[in-house]
Amino acid sequence: MIMIIISVMADKEAISKNFKKYLSSRGLRRTLQRDVIVREIIKSAKHLTADEIFERLRKKNPNIGYATVCRNLKLLYSAGIIDEIKIGNQKTRYELKSEDSHHDHLICVKCGKFIEVFSEKIEELQKEMARKERFIVLRHKLEIYGICKYCGEKGGERS
């Protein structure tokens, strides 16, 4: 249990350290806003939208601007610190990225919820498929749309 706590703490420190490294390597500045945004993402629930993060930060920092939140989420994405989850026309969601965080999504077209799944085999096959095309893979996105077990049980119409 202690091990887990230590490892989580180490991750958090690593995230901040990487971000600072990223900023200074590009001549960007460390600001109060950037600090609170990163901290909020570290402690928050998964996959939040820009305005959810904005609202949370507002409580403690009434002067922070929405544009600043959006801008810095994009920056954190560019820095490889967070993932961007774009599903259909929904608002973009963000979540902390870590070694084991990659996952695909099963998206229920009835209730809108999404389940995270992962398959090492699928990842490998994707790489193989790309290799055949001499294509260098940077990232990927797999979304499976359908009806989740709860909506399926309740029975009902197609959407």
Partner DNA sequence: AACGCTAATGATAATCATTATCATTAAAAT
Partner DNA sequence: ATTTTAATGATAATGATTATCATTAGCGTT
Q: Which of a second copy, DNA, none has residue 134 at its interface (CB below 5 to 8 Å by kind)?
A: a second copy
Beta bridge partners of 48: 94
Integer Cα distance of 76 and 34 in angstroms: 9
Copy the structure tokens of residue 118: 């992962």
Rank residues 6 and 135 by Cβ distance to a second copy and give the closer one: 135
Residue 69-108 contact track with DNA, rule CB under 7 A, x = bound: -xxx-x--------------x-xx----------------
Min dist CB 6 to a second copy, Å, is 32
Contact footprint for a second copy (CB under 8 A): 86, 88-89, 104, 106, 108-109, 115, 117, 119, 121-122, 125-126, 129-130, 133-149, 152
Q: Which of a second copy, DNA, none has residue 111 at its interface (CB below 5 to 8 Å by kind)?
A: none
Rank residues 62 and 88 by Cβ distance to a second copy and give the closer one: 88
Integer Cα distance of 145 and 138 in angstroms: 23
Residue 36-75 contact track with DNA, rule CB under 7 A, x = bound: -------------xxx---------x-xxxxxx-xxx-x-
Integer Cα distance of 108 and 159 in angstroms: 10
Nearest Cα neighbor of 41 from 67, 19, 63, 65 is 19
CA atoms within 13 A on the CB side of 75: 21
Residue 17 one-letter amino acid: K
Q: State which H helix or E strand residue 107 sits in.
A: strand 104-108
Give me the residues that bind DNA (CB under 7 A), please: 23-24, 27-34, 49-51, 61, 63-68, 70-72, 74, 89, 91-92
